[in-house]
Structure 1
Amino acid sequence: MTEEVVEPVIRIDHRGPLHGTVRVPGAKNSVLKLMAATVLADGEFNLDNVPEIVDVDIMSDLLRSIGSQVDTGSDGSLRITHSGELSTSVPADLAGRMRASINLLGPLVSRVGKIEIALPGGDDFGLRPIDMHIAGLEAMGATCTFTDGVLTVNAPRLVGADIRFSFPSVGATENLVTAAVCADGVTTIDGAAREPEVADLCRFLVAMGAHIEGIGESTLRITGVPHGALHSASHRVVPDRIQAATYIASVAVAGGEVDMIDAQRNDMQMFLHRCTEMGLV
């Protein structure tokens, strides 16, 4: 007898149009990468507009597990402090709970020269291999091995490289940019992802002292700086365009009028163009 698998269901009962005002929180696909990138330097980092989601809690636990201090404010803020040595081993039970755990790869390899991390978990949208992450790190001088579900990367010294992507991978772009900011020489990434969240990460790295050209474009040029040149920074997480689009779709279905605070039109131009064609906005 086959056991029935019951999927989680959210049921919303509502009749009639939607009205009111909502605030768009910081993007999940940005804040997790920003949190990981803080590993690159010592000091106290302050992030604002942080969404209240489980993944932020998991990433906070991941950072604590390698020796960082993370404090959550009641006003949507997050304070992350790094000092001294950090562990090179990421606990498998935490890494396996979230896809974004792989974003510790670039920053930790850059700072410590080594990382051991289990393949990430999280949302299950298919195999989602990390081949491009590994190939890019190897081009920069790293040695990567995979044994019993654990990826080990050794890189006592990263060097700049010319990297060309076969498709614009967001995760690979983010990991290789963070790895390249302190590599010797210049790294170019051709075919880089151009998502607003990638640009948000790059702007944060620049605020930390990194040298990155071509932010928001398909070719990124990163000139490595000494680790001592990087420093702590404060940053406001870019609003979540996916959540904003979900609100728009909800009003489109139910009718009504809803004001969205902090929605970024520039980050949703194509979506809003289609909505305009349909007469929704």
Structure 2
Amino acid sequence: MDQIIVKGGGELNGVIPIAGAKNAALTLMPATLLTEEPLTLTNAPRLSDIKTMTELLGSLGAEVAAMQGGKVLALSSHNIHNHTADYDIVRKMRASILVLGPMLARDGHAVVSLPGGCAIGARPVDLHLKAFEAMGAELDLRDGYVHAKAPGGRLKGAVINFDFASVGATENALLAATLAKGTTEIRNAAREPEIVDLAQCLRKMGAQIEGEGTSVITVQGVDRLGGATHPVVTDRIELGTYMLAPLVCGGTVECLGGTIDLVGAFCEKLDAAGASVEQTETGLKVSRKNGRIQAVDVTTEPFPGFPTDLQAQMMALLCTAEGTSTLEEKIFENRFMHAPELIRMGAKIDVHGGHATVTGVDKLKGAPVMATDLRASVSLILAGLAAEGETVVSRVYHLDRGYEHVEDKLSAVGASIERVKES
């Protein structure tokens, strides 16, 4: 098993290219199941989760070819011969549930295992299932699988009211609605850029969609969809993560491909903390305005609010800020598991339920720490950049699910970081 060793103390200067969004690519890839024609995705991230989705689609009969070093994915679902998504694959990744909507929409039936993924909360799929039931699907949950069938072989348009603006449920409902008979209205829809990206791709394939990026999405179902070529949107979470790097340890870094509209609420908090964020022709240039970062209060919210997927990284920054910060996690329970590891490095953090209080210290100190989930893993690397001495991060397989070549990207701007085999 790999470990990452970080030696802190130096400034970071240079440019970091930002990859295509993992959460967008994992939503776009299942769209191939809606058509017999080819779907090509460019600017794809090279991550283990992409390999898992490739494996899952392949098990259903889809063909996925990675080209240009994995940055281009050529998908074809002209021969879907299996409609069961097995537990052995689905358990690795929550996004696997996104094959349910397309298979149900195209062929009228599907059997999908309940998904797995990071241990950061229950993340139930009940909203997905309620959406399909509203569209006329008959569902049977047994032996850990969702058995779904559309009477007459086709879903029907419906009004879907979500109790919570769930990203995954919005995506699954949107995918399914494209081939449903009639009009579907998704109310209290999530508004994330990844959903806008999915709608744009589906429109290229022939879908009739309006309202993406707002709380109400309207879809007029069509009889068939065609192929398309579509670039995956920039990964706003990777973008935000690397924007924090020069704030943690000093210096100036330009994140190539970044735009403020992807991380608006995040940028507002950085500004309040004493960061300079400048939009350039090629990306976002980030540095400290002057001196030490200041404490700020953060509450995670659905887009366009502060992203839950940047909460752990922000906590790493605030560990050495001047003053006391509070972080409130309102999206997922059990998402402060990185706090005890940061405390091992000398951070002063007090966690009570969904609230964490962080009192800044002058310096963190390197220590052996363990990643508990994807975003926690990179927060420990950021903390290591700010720490005195050596930080050894174990269980970095979490990291590889969401960040491509993290040690290469940080080394290129001056970080002392390397990946080694655990002894």
The range that moved more, 271-280 or 196-205, is 271-280
Displacement of 1:278: 2.0
Q: Are 1:255 and 2:250 counterparts?
A: yes
Aligned partner of 2:346 in structure 1 is none
Structure 1 counterpart of 2:99: 104
Q: 1:85 Cα deviation (Å)?
A: 3.6
Q: Within 1, Cα distance between the matches of 2:41 and 2:74? A: 6
> Does residue 1:182 correspond to 2:176, yes or no?
no
SS at match of 1:104: helix
Q: Which amino acid aligns with 1:193?
A: A
Q: Distance between the aligned counterparts of 2:244 and 2:81, measured in 1?
A: 44
Question: What's the offset of the Cα at 1:38?
Answer: 1.4
Aligned to 2:128: 133
TM (normalized to structure 1)? 0.94
Task: For residue 106 of structure 1, report the CA deviation from its aligned partner.
Answer: 0.6
Contact map agreement 1:86 1:112 (CA 8 A) in 2:
no
- Counterpart in the other structure of 1:16: 10
SS at match of 1:116: strand
Tell me the residue number matched to 1:26: 20
User: Are 2:205 and 1:211 aligned?
Assistant: no
2:37 maps to which residue? 43
Q: Does 1:145 align with 2:140?
A: yes
Task: Report the secondary structure of 1:35's partner residue.
Answer: helix
Larger Rg: 2
2:88 corresponds to which residue? 93
Residues of 1 paired with 2:109 and 2:7: CA distance?
51
1:180-203 Cα deviation digits (max 9, x unpaired)? 111111000110000011111111
8 Å CA contact 2:91–2:116 kept in 1: the answer is yes
In 2, the alpha carbon distance for the partners of 1:237 and 1:176 equals: 20
Post-superposition shift, 1:64? 0.8
Q: Distance in 1 between matches of 2:169 and 2:3?
A: 32
Q: Aligned to 1:263, what secondary structure does the other structure show?
A: coil
Q: Answer yes or no: is 1:70 the counterpart of 2:67.
A: no
Report sequence identity in percent. 40
Q: Residue 64 of structure 1 contacts residue 70 of structure 1 at CA under 8 Å; is this kept in 2?
A: yes
Q: How many Å separate the matches in 1 of 2:174 and 2:248?
A: 40
- 1:233 aligned onto 2:228: yes
Residue number in structure 2 paired with 1:4: none
Alpha-carbon distance between aligned partners in 1 of 2:27 and 2:114, rounded to the nearest angstrom = 17
Q: Distance in 2 between matches of 1:280 and 1:8?
A: 33
Deviation of residue 249 (structure 1)?
A: 1.3
Q: Is contact 1:20-1:257 (8 Å) kept?
A: yes
Contact 2:83 2:110 (C-alpha < 8 Å) held by counterparts: yes
> Aligned equivalents of 2:2 and 2:185: distance in 1?
43
Q: Distance in 2 between matches of 1:193 and 1:69?
A: 30
| Shift, 1:8, TM fit | 8.4
Of 23, 39, 54, which aligns to 2:48?
Answer: 54
Q: Distance in 1 between matches of 2:229 and 2:143?
A: 39
1:270 to 261, 265, 269: 265
Which of 181, 198, 202 does residue 201 from structure 1 map onto? 198
Give the TM-score of the pair, scaled to structure 2. 0.63
Residues 17 and 255 in structure 1, CA contact (< 8 A), matched pair in contact too: yes
CA RMSD of aligned residues (A): 1.4
Deviation of 1:9 after TM superposition, in Å, equals 6.2
Contact 1:36–1:103, Cα closer than 8 Å, also in 2: yes
Structure 1 segments of 4 or more deviating over 6 A?
A: none
How far is the alpha carbon of 1:11 from its aligned partner? Answer: 3.8
Equivalent in 111, 115, 135 of residue 116 of structure 1 = 111
CA distance in 2 between partners of 1:257 and 1:20 (Å)? 7
CA contact (8 A) 2:62 2:79 kept: no
Question: Residue 58 of structure 2 aligns to which amino acid in structure 1?
Answer: R
1:53 corresponds to which letter in structure 2?
L
Partner of 1:65, secondary structure, is helix
* Alpha-carbon shift at residue 14 of structure 1 (Å): 2.5
SS in 1 for 2:238: helix
Tell me the distance in 2 between the aligned counterparts of 1:180 and 1:120.
22
AA in 1 matched with 2:258: A
Name structure 1 gaps, 5 residues minimum: 1-6
**How much does 1:10 deviate?**
4.1
In structure 2, C-alpha distance between the alignment counterparts of 1:145 and 1:255, rounded to whole Å: 55
Q: Give 2:206's aligned amino acid.
A: G
